A and B are shown apart, each in its own frame.
Chain A
Amino acid sequence: MYKLTEEGQEYLERGLPERRLLDILDAPLELEDASKRVENFSIALQWAKKEGWVEIREGRIHLVDKPKALPQEKALKKVSKGQAVDKDILKVLVSRKLIEKVREDILKRAKKLVGTEITQLPEELISTGLWKEVRFKSYNVKVPGKRIHPGKRQPYQLFVGRMKRKLVELGFQEVTGQLIETEFWNFDALYQPQNHPARDWTSTYQLKYPESGRLPDKKIVDHVKAAHENGWTTGSTGWKYRWDPKKAARLMPRAHGTCISARTLASNPEIPGKYFAIARCYRPDFLDATHLIEFNQAEGIVIDESLNLKNLLGILEIFAKEIAGAKKVKFLPDYYPFTEPSVQLSALHPDLGWMEFGGSGIFREELTKPLGIDVPVIAWGIGIDRLAMFKLGINDVRYLFSKDLDWLRDSKVL
């Protein structure tokens, strides 16, 4: 049992390509001319030559003989009707991929379904063409599809990814750091005095093991020490106390991303340069609707001789508009131990009113000079956990680290 292939079906309806060639050969034709007028010209020419109906002389095709009916066309017609055909011709048609064998068991199974109403559409009905002989049961197509769960990004991670892209678009280079830092990089290099309350047991985590790490390059350490004790060459009085290298070598899970900025400054950054980091940070807090045991900060610096307070405000305004979608901004004078002047950004969110968005300032010279930087450095930090809550429309911060699989499966990827 054989059936026509798609190509076979087409030729049955329109005639074989060689037929179409013979039909236009009332007079000899240039090869190129003929090729333009006959579809599948190379197939047509090959078979017409093989059968001895045409020949080529001096680049032209001459008609030799034009049979009334082409045997292959007759055979195609018979196959389509399910009639027997000469074996040799069958072989030729199979080799030309105009017909193909239908498996008996498939046919048998298909025939069984003839005249019935089917729900699923089985392969055998499609391949035998017997689908014409069945009725299709109607479905209730108004029922929504069954709920399935695609692989998907976590909503907060998506948010962070988009935030990064935005910062890259604004010309910032991403930098990363280590979760465990020495107090030196977390505090001392940022000109935070060693007895500052932010450094005590209740405000930051400390490590039981390993307890201490190593201090960096002696030159940097000496300069930082001098900046703390007497201001070094910065024109500052310093904090006027005895700086303790042992305390600086103590290890801690980083309490803010600013330590990454300090390390960037100390490692010969580009000037002008813009750098940012998204940093997981740690402070002793209980887990509740407004606090996380660890949180994320976006943190960055801009380095250039030309920078001033106007530029600082300019950057903050861009962030508020580009990242938070705020319409209006307000600047609040603020205090951070490592920047002077310091400014907090307050942005007017279309739905949520004024929200505090991030802190910033120009790094103190007591910080930049010991790290080898002699030009102004603008530093900014954005509490992206809070921003993400607003963007994701959640009012419990714990959902940023949600353990609820149903919630994650239902979350939107927008």
Chain B
Amino acid sequence: MPKIDFSLKDLQRLLRTDITYDELKERGILFVKGEIEGLQEEVISADIKDTNRPDLWSAEGIARELQSHYGVREGLPEFKMGRSGISLNVDRKVGRVRPKTVGAVVKGLSLDDESIKQMIQLQEKIHMTYGRNREVTAIGVYDLDRIAPPINYTTVKPDGIKFIPLDFEEELTPAEILEKHPKGREYGHLIDKFGEYPLMIDSAGNVLSIPPIINSVYTGKVSPQTKNVFIELTGQEVERLSIALNVLVAAFYERGGEVLSVDVNYPDGTIVTPDMTPREFSIDAEECRKILGLDLKKKEIINLLKRASYDAKSKNGKLLVKYPAYRNDIMHSRDVIEDIAIAYDVNRIDPQPPELSTIGTMDPKEEFCDTVREVIVGLGFQEVLTFSLVSKKNLFDKMNLKEKEICEIANPISTSWNSIRNWLLPSILDFLRANLHVEYPQKVFEVGDVVVIDGKEETGTRTEKKLACAVSGGRACYEDISSVLDAFLRNIGVEYRLKGKRHKSFISGRSAEVVTNGRAVGIVGEIHPLVLNNWGIEKPVAAFEIDIDGIK
């Protein structure tokens, strides 16, 4: 769901076609599973929905993908690469802290404000979504001309070095950066548990960065004057980092940069990155026809694949497809088949409802609940609908009850919603409290879900359906509500008896347990004035709550 901004002019330039805004909005953007949300002063805001396609999170990527759909080129995009001869040496000590890194060099750039904006946005989106907030992927881009290779990826003690981080003017130690720099405070938790922090540093002792926190001002500032850049990524797995590196260098390539590889020297061997060799996957044309319901010839499938930036050819009865090295999402033949459907244009496919003979039914318990509602409505009650997330206080303190175990939220956004209710009446009282100035008598009910703790269940809890019913105002008393209860239970054919029961939410001597088949299934009574005070309700309330499972 990354939301990105780009300029229409920049996109037209990269796409090498004067695509109109309307064409992009109505058709073009669908090829990248996107949606245009708005256009303001030439800036387009788009929602790119595929969280597995970081290659589409920038103007460069969108343009590249659209080129083949709009006939600017077809098939796999071409990448020409060379070697930079620069080494990135990985110290054994990073193994515990942030074990992996990859790198690349791009030369001959002529950046402008728009391309720098796109580069920063792409980095941010990759950090956030793909990089899980920098935990698994963090990117550093540097001015190569200020770096003295080789570059060393090592660790440093919290106070082991001093440098000026981006956005600051004074030299800080890594420990001070974690404490004082906004990025340090935001991402410090990723490294502060280790005795030493990751460090990128060149052979002249210039600090490049403390990954994944912040670059140095000296090397880490990219401007329109920057011609050559060094890119490194750090994280947990080489494969994941490589995809993101490929996405970044592919974007620079679209801007006319010359991409050169870096030798990454691990203690146990060297890898050369980036590796832009197209990846391969094989799919079955018959599976494609079956899943899409389209009678496509092999040739047509191959042509559609070429429009979707793949190359494809027949091999041993199957289709061997090649796809760009920046794609992260091809796991299964279905992923390729979907691209065929998108290239074909989903809106060109004839919708065809499945002809299956099935019998529709309601869930029996839900159906019973509807009957319950019908009877209670017939008794003159207004149905209400309330939230099941409540404040724990409402369930116990306000109801004059001692706390017991209930389902509690670990990360509530407010204490008003920190628990899931274990009974329904507090929600009804909360409703009455919101209507103190509305005409009385008020007769309301709800059939709703509550959650109770049950260690025997797979989910440690049980969801139960309850009916709560209350009458308030005038001289609302026990008899008013017990007669409703009686009419309700008689009409659904439940034999019951009332057994006096002390319950601290109700007035002593004016509450009873509803017993059927020897089992207590509910409580009825006059709400205790202390409880009414707690809620700020100024009229008497008589109410009952019944367990639907107990009477079904």
Which A residues lie at the B interface, using CB under 8 A? 149-154, 156-157, 161, 164, 167-182, 195-197, 200-202, 205-214, 216, 231, 234-240, 251, 253, 270, 272-274, 280, 282, 284-286, 292-294, 302, 304, 306-311, 313-318, 329-335, 337, 340-343, 362, 364-366, 376, 378, 400-406, 408-409
B486 to chain A, nearest CB (A): 16
B442 to chain A, nearest CB (A): 6
Chain A residue at minimum C-beta to C-beta distance from B367: A174
Complex Cα distance A366/B332, Å?
A: 9
| Interface CB pairs A-B, < 8 A, 12 | A149-B439, A152-B382, A172-B360, A173-B358, A197-B51, A202-B411, A237-B331, A310-B294, A314-B352, A314-B354, A401-B385, A406-B439
Complex Cα distance A293/B412, Å?
A: 10
Chain A residue numbers with a CB within 8 Å of B382 are: 149, 151-152, 154, 405, 408-409
Query: Does B21 touch A at the CB level, under 8 Å?
Result: no
Query: Does B518 touch A at the CB level, under 8 Å?
Result: no
Instruction: Let me know if B459 and A181 touch, CB within 8 A.
Output: yes
Question: Which of A182, A210, A274, A310 is within 8 Å of B360, CB to CB?
Answer: A274
Chain B residue at minimum C-beta to C-beta distance from A195: B132
Question: Which of A175, A302, A365 is within 8 Å of B332, CB to CB?
Answer: A365
Complex Cα distance A314/B352, Å?
A: 4
A270 to chain B, nearest CB (A): 7
Chain B residue at minimum C-beta to C-beta distance from A202: B411
The B1-41 residues at the A interface (CB cut-off 8 A) are 30-31, 33, 35
Question: Which of A157, A294, A332, A376 is within 8 Å of B291, CB to CB?
Answer: A376
Q: With A171-B360, A313-B349, A341-B337 in contact, is A151–B389 under 8 Å at CB?
A: no
Complex Cα distance A189/B505, Å?
A: 42
Query: Does B248 touch A at the CB level, under 8 Å?
Result: no
Complex Cα distance A402/B30, Å?
A: 38
The 6 closest A-B pairs by CB, nearest first: A308-B293, A314-B353, A310-B293, A168-B360, A313-B351, A341-B338
Question: Which of B132, B337, B389, B457 is within 8 Å of A282, CB to CB?
Answer: B389
Comparing B89-97, B251-259, B269-277, B340-348, the segment that makes contact with chain A is B340-348
Complex Cα distance A315/B334, Å?
A: 20
Chain A residue numbers with a CB within 8 Å of B167 are: none
Q: With A210-B453, A309-B291 in contact, is A293–B373 under 8 Å at CB?
A: no
Which B residues lie at the A interface, using CB under 8 A? 30-31, 33, 35, 49-53, 128-129, 132, 136, 239, 290-294, 331-335, 337-338, 341-342, 346-347, 349-354, 356-363, 365-366, 370, 373, 376-389, 405-414, 417, 420, 430-431, 434-435, 438-439, 442-444, 449, 451, 453, 455, 457-463
Chain B residue at minimum C-beta to C-beta distance from A320: B351
Question: Which of B33, B35, B50, B461 is within 8 Å of A180, CB to CB?
Answer: B461
Chain A residue numbers with a CB within 8 Å of B356 are: 171, 272, 274, 302, 304, 306
Complex Cα distance A329/B249, Å?
A: 39
A198 to chain B, nearest CB (A): 8
Beyond A209-B408, A313-B350, 12 extra complex contacts between A and B, CB < 8 Å: A170-B360, A179-B388, A201-B411, A209-B405, A272-B357, A308-B290, A313-B351, A331-B346, A342-B338, A364-B332, A400-B385, A403-B430
Q: With A234-B332, A294-B389 in contact, is A333–B459 under 8 Å at CB?
A: no
Question: Which of B51, B342, B389, B458 is within 8 Å of A333, CB to CB?
Answer: B342
Question: Which of B291, B333, B349, B363 is within 8 Å of A176, CB to CB?
Answer: B363
Give the one of A157, A214, A284, A335 with max B CB within 10 A.
A335
Chain A residue numbers with a CB within 8 Å of B334 are: 340-341, 362, 364-365
Complex Cα distance A282/B460, Å?
A: 18
Instruction: Let me know if B129 and A205 touch, CB within 8 A.
Output: no
Question: Which of A179, A302, A332 is within 8 Å of B451, CB to CB?
Answer: A179
Complex Cα distance A332/B381, Å?
A: 44
Instruction: Let me know if B293 and A311 touch, CB within 8 A.
Output: yes
Q: With A308-B290, A340-B334 in contact, is A405–B444 under 8 Å at CB?
A: yes
Complex Cα distance A104/B290, Å?
A: 92
Chain A residue numbers with a CB within 8 Å of B410 are: 205-208, 211
Instruction: Let me know if B362 and A302 touch, CB within 8 A.
Output: no
Chain B residue at minimum C-beta to C-beta distance from A272: B356
Chain A residue numbers with a CB within 8 Å of B332 are: 231, 234-237, 340, 364-366
Complex Cα distance A300/B352, Å?
A: 18
B259 to chain A, nearest CB (A): 26
Instruction: Let me know if B363 and A205 touch, CB within 8 A.
Output: no
B360 to chain A, nearest CB (A): 4
Instruction: Let me know if B351 and A317 touch, CB within 8 A.
Output: yes
A3 to chain B, nearest CB (A): 38
Chain B residue numbers with a CB within 8 Å of A280 are: 388, 449
A78 to chain B, nearest CB (A): 49
Chain A residue numbers with a CB within 8 Å of B352 are: 310-311, 313-314
Chain A residue numbers with a CB within 8 Å of B350 are: 310, 313
Complex Cα distance A236/B330, Å?
A: 9
Chain A residue numbers with a CB within 8 Å of B413 are: 284-286, 293
Instruction: Let me know if B438 and A405 touch, CB within 8 A.
Output: yes
Chain B residue at minimum C-beta to C-beta distance from A278: B366
Instruction: Let me know if B35 and A332 touch, CB within 8 A.
Output: yes
Chain A residue numbers with a CB within 8 Å of B366 are: 164, 174, 176
Chain A residue at minimum C-beta to C-beta distance from B332: A236
Question: Which of B49, B132, B405, B444 is within 8 Å of A335, CB to CB?
Answer: B49
Chain B residue numbers with a CB within 8 Å of A341 are: 291-292, 334, 337-338, 341-342, 346
Chain A residue at minimum C-beta to C-beta distance from B1: A335
Instruction: Let me know if A208 and B291 touch, CB within 8 A.
Output: no
Q: With A154-B383, A210-B460, A213-B460 in contact, is A270–B50 under 8 Å at CB?
A: no
Instruction: Let me know if B380 and A161 touch, CB within 8 A.
Output: no
Chain B residue numbers with a CB within 8 Å of A314 are: 351-354
Chain A residue at minimum C-beta to C-beta distance from B282: A235
Complex Cα distance A206/B362, Å?
A: 31
Instruction: Let me know if B444 and A174 touch, CB within 8 A.
Output: no
Chain B residue at minimum C-beta to C-beta distance from A366: B332
Q: With A151-B379, A235-B333, A332-B30 in contact, is A210–B292 under 8 Å at CB?
A: no
Chain B residue numbers with a CB within 8 Å of A378 are: 354
Give the one of A207, A272, A343 with max B CB within 10 A.
A207
Instruction: Let me know if A178 and B347 touch, CB within 8 A.
Output: no
Instruction: Let me know if B443 and A151 touch, CB within 8 A.
Output: yes
Chain A residue numbers with a CB within 8 Å of B414 are: 286
Instruction: Let me know if A405 and B383 touch, CB within 8 A.
Output: no
Chain B residue numbers with a CB within 8 Å of A376 are: 291
Chain B residue at minimum C-beta to C-beta distance from A270: B358
Complex Cα distance A152/B376, Å?
A: 9
Instruction: Let me know if B353 and A272 touch, CB within 8 A.
Output: no
Complex Cα distance A331/B26, Å?
A: 11
